[in-house]
């Protein structure tokens, strides 16, 4: 019921396996998870239907493997896209801008990812994958923040995690809005607002000890 389905795995097998996942990704982007059949996937991968079932125990296992691949791919891209920053505020700004650049460049892929995440949530044996996905993305931002914070001492580990979750929530929500009603210009402005808000949130966390008054300034 997991990802496996093959026997021992030689070199060729692993290559075909990746080929199927790539083909699946292409088919999924075109028609969506619900409308994509195993035959579509096989065709997109240039492989016969039976081959697909030799490498994957079931369609479900294949789809989950695709999601796993997508998560790894995305985390790697997010890390690669983000450059270095001098301080936490800069890191927040660059990370969010870079992340948004990547996500808007791969909108079709993001739709598939949402579909697959929901698909995983519905399966008892794969609910953990959705949690893994969430953790992976939080960790990307958390690592970036911590790399800077360790130098400047602005935030501790827990603070970085909280800020990372905040960033992820914001960018996720804005991505949903962009998908539902595309408007690049408005989204860009919203991202800048999110950057400012996140910076304020982070400043509140790190400034607590020195300037506690700041924290409550605008709050109730």
How far apart, in whole angstroms, are the C-alpha atoms of residue 181 and residue 203?
32
Say which residue the tokens 């953790």 belong to: 135
Q: Concatenated DSSP letters for 19-51?
A: HHHHHHHHHHHHH-TTT--HHHHHHHHT--HHH
Residue among 31, 46, 83, 212 that touches its own copies (CB under 8 A):
31
Stretch in the footprint of its own copies (CB under 8 A) among 11-19, 44-52, 72-80, 112-120: 112-120
Query: CB of 108: closest distance to DNA in angstroms?
Result: 20
Residue among 43, 47, 197, 200 that touches DNA (CB under 7 A):
47
Residue among 29, 54, 90, 161 that touches DNA (CB under 7 A):
54
Query: CB of 19: closest distance to its own copies in angstroms?
Result: 25
The answer to whether residue 122 forms part of the interface with DNA (CB under 7 A) is no
Cβ count within 10 A of residue 147 = 14
Say which residue the tokens 């699946």 belong to: 24
Residue among 2, 39, 118, 127 that touches DNA (CB under 7 A):
39
- Residue 82's nearest CA partner among 197, 154, 171, 10 is 171
Query: CB of 100: closest distance to its own copies in angstroms?
Result: 12
The answer to whether residue 173 forms part of the interface with DNA (CB under 7 A) is no
Q: Concatenated DSSP letters for 169-205?
A: HHHHHHHHHHHHS--HHHHHHHHHHHHHHHHHHHHHH
Q: DSSP 3-state assignment of 217?
A: coil
Residue 111 touches which member of DNA, its own copies, none, C-beta under 5-8 Å by kind: its own copies
Contacts with its own copies by CB under 8 A lie at 31-35, 89-90, 93, 111, 114-115, 117-119, 121-122, 130-131, 133-135, 162, 165-166, 168-174, 176-177, 179-181, 186, 189-190, 193-201, 203-204, 217-220
């Amino acid at each position: 019921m997991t990802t496996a389905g093959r026997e021992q795995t030689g070199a060729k097998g692993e290559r075909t396996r990746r080929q199927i996942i790539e083909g699946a990704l292409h088919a999924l982007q075109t028609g969506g998870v619900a409308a994509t059949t195993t035959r579509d996937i096989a065709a997109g991968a240039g492989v016969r239907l039976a081959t697909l079932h030799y490498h994957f125990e079931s369609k479900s296992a294949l789809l989950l493997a695709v999601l796993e691949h997508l998560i790894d791919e995305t985390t790697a891209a997010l890390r690669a896209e983000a450059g270095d920053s001098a301080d936490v505020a800069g890191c927040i700004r660059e990370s969010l801008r870079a992340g948004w650049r990547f996500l808007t460049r791969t909108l079709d892929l993001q739709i598939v990812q949402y579909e697959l995440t929901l698909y995983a949530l519905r399966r008892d044996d794969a609910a953990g994958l959705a949690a893994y996905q969430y953790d992976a993305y939080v960790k990307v931002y958390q690592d970036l923040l911590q790399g800077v914070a360790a130098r400047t001492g602005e935030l501790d580990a827990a603070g970085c995690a909280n800020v990372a979750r905040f960033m992820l929530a914001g960018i996720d929500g804005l991505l949903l809005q962009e998908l539902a009603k595309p408007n690049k210009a408005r989204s860009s402005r919203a991202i800048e607002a999110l950057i400012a808000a996140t910076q304020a949130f982070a400043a509140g966390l790190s400034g607590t000890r020195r300037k506690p008054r700041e924290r409550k300034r605008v709050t109730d």
